[in-house]
Amino acid sequence: MQEKELISKIQALKEIKPNQQWVSSVKTNILGAAPAQETPARKGDYVWTMPGIISLIYGKRKLAYSFAVLLFVALGVYSFTNFYSLQQTQVANENATASLLALQAELQDNMKAFKEKSVNLAEVVKRDQTEKIDGAIQEAKVAVETLTDSIKKDPNLAKTVASEISNTKTYLSVIDDEDLKESSDDLLKTIDEQLIYDLEKATLTPDQQKSVEGIVHLVYEKKQYADGLESILMLNAELNAQEEETTIDQPEVKDQGNEQLGE
């Protein structure tokens, strides 16, 4: 064989490539089989192992701690809500008491001014001080209106000043002034209406009920507010006397157990 032919065959052998299937088979044999995929352990497979037990205990403790924190927060919110509600109620009661005391103080001041201005008007008229009459009338009118406003703010105070008004109203009748009369009638009407309302809620005898009906007729139909107030005061005096007699005549309740021990 010639040298050129030998070189040509050697070059042809270099171009021969191995079969891919054979290459893959050989590689597998050399490297070994591919590792099988691990199947995730199920809960039942690991829960009783040491790591599983620790995880379970820790998980339960964490849940219990979370529940305790939630319960503590809930109790705190509940306690705060109750405390806040009690505080609000206490503040409201304190405000109501303060408001009532303020109204009572205002009423006393206005009642004092009403009496002073009424007496002053009567004195001016009595002394025939013509130059002072207009001023005295205006002062009395303002005092009457201010007192009326105080009673309208808290009608329950009407009973407190009813007797004083009945005694003082005569000072306002010494002069014929339309504006002053209108203001005085408004004051008396305000008092009458509240006192009638109180009487209608009281326990009355048939005769007393008829008296109330007569007072209602005087005030609402005939608009005789001064006469209505006098009738109301008379009926209230009768009811107070009746209540005192009932209290005095009420038999004393004895303790039967003590009586038996005494025997």
Tens digit of pLDDT at every position of the chain (263 positions): 566 666 666 666 555 566 666 666 656 666 655 444 555 555 545 445 555 555 555 555 565 566 566 666 666 666 667 666 666 676 666 676 777 688 778 888 998 999 899 889 889 888 888 899 899 999 999 999 999 999 998 888 888 888 778 777 666 776 778 888 899 999 999 999 999 999 999 889 999 999 999 999 999 999 999 899 999 999 999 998 888 777 776 655 555 555 554 44
Q: Is 147 inside a domain boundary? A: yes
Note the maximum CA span of the chain.
Answer: 173
Q: Is 172 inside a domain boundary? A: yes
Of 192, 198, 194, 178, residue with least CA distance to 223: 192
Contact of 117 with 139, CB cutoff 8 Å = yes
Of 171, 175, 178, 164, residue with least CA distance to 118: 171
Q: Is 138 inside a domain boundary? A: yes
Q: Is 79 inside a domain boundary? A: no
How many angstroms separate the Cα of 155 from the Cα of each of 107, 146, 179, 187, 197?
11, 14, 24, 12, 10
Residues whose CB falls within 8 Å of the CB of residue 180, separated by 6 or more in sequence, listed in order: 137, 140, 141, 144, 172
Note the pLDDT of residue 79: 67
Note the pLDDT of residue 130: 87
Of 161, 144, 188, residue with least CA distance to 104: 161
- 111 vs 72: CA distance, rounded Å: 57
Note the pLDDT of residue 148: 93
Q: Which domain holds residue 234?
A: 106-247
Of 130, 219, 139, 196, residue with least CA distance to 171: 139
Ramachandran category for residue 103: left, alpha or beta (phi over 0 → left; psi -120 to 50 → alpha): alpha
- 255 vs 108: CA distance, rounded Å: 45
Ramachandran category for residue 34: left, alpha or beta (phi over 0 → left; psi -120 to 50 → alpha): beta
**Helices marked H in 127-201 — which ranges?**
130-153, 158-172, 178-201
Note the pLDDT of residue 252: 56
Chain centroid offset of residue 58 CA: 48
In this predicted model, what pLDDT tens digit does every residue of 148-200 receive, in sequence order?
Answer: 999 998 888 888 888 778 777 666 776 778 888 899 999 999 999 999 999 99
Note the pLDDT of residue 187: 92
Note the pLDDT of residue 162: 87
Q: Is 242 inside a domain boundary? A: yes
Take residue 212 and report the two structure tokens written for it.
Answer: 């109330």
Q: Is 175 inside a domain boundary? A: yes
Provide the domain count of the chain.
1
- 173 vs 188: CA distance, rounded Å: 13
Helix, strand, coil tally for the chain in percent (to 5): 85, 0, 15
